[in-house]
Structure 1
């Protein structure tokens, strides 16, 4: 167990960034004007995940602005993937709490103080998240609320509650607060799911560390007093992107289900994943017969169910590919 030292800060805000030079000024301006943080010792960490734009220069300029308010630190993480950027942030953070924000999340003025207060009031919480509202460039399609959680929009009302981690009902990795010590003690240093990479569809990197935290006995909470605004550009509401997102979210389902699963249970989970999603596919096809080509939201859901049904086979194929790669690398 890692011991806290006198040098530990109250909270670190960690921002993984990839080509975020145009987005980072907005979020840094929001953090510069946070309220209720006068008595907090805190810092901001930018983890640059191999950006090819001028992210570094932007951070250098803001380091001058932030001088005297809080520390703004920059790190380059060469291993591609959001999961590796988050792991780097955890290694570098000096805060007892780590508040993750993506570079397209805009926090409300009291977001940081509400995040810190919730941690004090809920000592058994290993992680917590709040309300994430959509900030849309264009109006979303009809019935978009059915799939908005896939775009990290969470509006679950004004009452706090525990997330149902056993059924993969969890908050996204953005606008998430974790206890640094809890993460370090329970989350492996090498993730199974890396996040979006060229040629890799599978998602799930947000949920993997949370499942390790949950199975270690820590609670994961929804805190409605924390508000952030997720900027959704036009292209994220287009058909091709949404269907790719649906497939990526579905293909990780079996792999996430294996976390904390004993070997003898794996064949059962394998069969349940296939049959359970086959049932959903058939039911969905009957309900939306003749509408799937014209109803984007129903098509998204069908794509997710199909990918979830295929996720056990995707997992086996990926493991076989890794095994062959390691064999020929020897």
Structure 2
């Protein structure tokens, strides 16, 4: 196999996952050249009871009972047979040329350990105006039409900040060898395994952890605009309740990721100081005034919580 497509899914919406699979059916790269691995992460009912992958000669559904995106990804990679992995979320619609373009880029730049492209949102309904001011991208990114490769292979390089134009989990393409380097460090570290999504929890630091690990190990990363994913976003994900929770958990995870990689600009704080800090943040951000400010307030609380847990 030239490459492996790995979909990790926990209790997916049937109609959305079906659309994801349908986008793979029309890939311009023939099915005999790649394998499809769907990791059912403890879904009820089992995905194999209703999803038919018989159209693909190299497809399989495997069951990972240990809940969590990190565990599901590891299980999928361990069952893969190719040197190039593409992670596809269960709400990602790949453009028809995605697999072919990913392989083409890999063949041109084999030294790049991880890369991704454009992730364009497709909202179930029109989001409220304030949503676009809240600063949460919901797993979407778009850096224009110029490709970008970051070279971190110089001996004098020392990471100081999170890399610009870094790939995100949506449609992430990664060398299997690079992922295994990440796994060598992270698999037996409970804190790092807890960074990924787990059930309905919105913890979201695993992708950042992967990128920082690869950069420190000398891999290049890249932005490839010819790779495009449509990210299907249901209405509940841009509700105020969801976004406040996501802002909190994202910032909480972000502090922990930066601490793991020794680039955290914030000091550890006492958990006993949290109520006073929350009060000050309440006065500063004035969450009662608007939806954006209420989200910013939750982001501040999440940062404080992360600082208390490092």
Alignment TM-score, normalising by the size of structure 2 = 0.82
Q: Is the 8 A contact 1:125 1:221 kept in 2?
A: yes
CA deviations over 1:63-87 (Å, ceiling 9, x no partner)? 2x223xxx11111011100111111
Q: Is the 8 A contact 2:162 2:212 kept in 1?
A: no
CA deviations over 1:200-257 (Å, ceiling 9, x no partner)? 5532122222221111111121111111111111111111111000011011122101
Q: Which residue of 1 aligns with 2:231?
A: 230
301 and 117 in structure 1: CA distance in 2 versus 1, 3 angstrom threshold: farther
1:56 is the counterpart of 2:48: yes
How far 1:141 sits from its partner (Å)?
2.4
Q: Which residue of 1 aligns with 2:36?
A: 44
1:124-139 pair list within 5 angstroms: 124-139=111-126
Alignment TM-score, normalising by the size of structure 1 = 0.78
2:182 aligned residue (183, 186, 206): 186
Q: Which residue of 2 aligns with 1:203?
A: 204
CA separation in 2, counterparts of 1:148 and 1:72? 38
118 and 40 in structure 1: CA distance in 2 versus 1, 3 angstrom threshold: farther
34 and 241 in structure 1: CA distance in 2 versus 1, 3 angstrom threshold: same
CA separation in 1, counterparts of 2:32 and 2:291? 46
> Structure 1 residues 22-31 or 172-181, which shifts more?
22-31
> Structure 1 residues 50-59 or 100-109, which shifts more?
50-59
How far 1:156 sits from its partner (Å)?
1.4
1:84 is the counterpart of 2:79: no
How far 1:168 sits from its partner (Å)?
6.1
Which structure's relative contact order is higher, taking Cα pairs within 8 Å and 6+ residues apart?
2
How far 1:124 sits from its partner (Å)?
2.2
Equivalenced residue count is 289
- Three-state SS of the structure 2 residue aligned to 1:293 is coil
Structure 1, gaps ≥5 residues long: 1-8, 273-280, 316-330
> Structure 1 residues 133-142 or 242-251, which shifts more?
133-142
CA separation in 1, counterparts of 2:199 and 2:49? 26
- Three-state SS of the structure 2 residue aligned to 1:140 is coil
Q: Is the 8 A contact 2:70 2:206 kept in 1?
A: yes
Q: Is the 8 A contact 1:254 1:270 kept in 2?
A: no
Structure 2, gaps ≥5 residues long: 151-158, 270-278
Q: Which residue of 1 aligns with 2:2?
A: 10
Q: Which residue of 2 aligns with 1:300?
A: 295
200 and 154 in structure 1: CA distance in 2 versus 1, 3 angstrom threshold: closer
- Three-state SS of the structure 1 residue aligned to 2:129 is coil
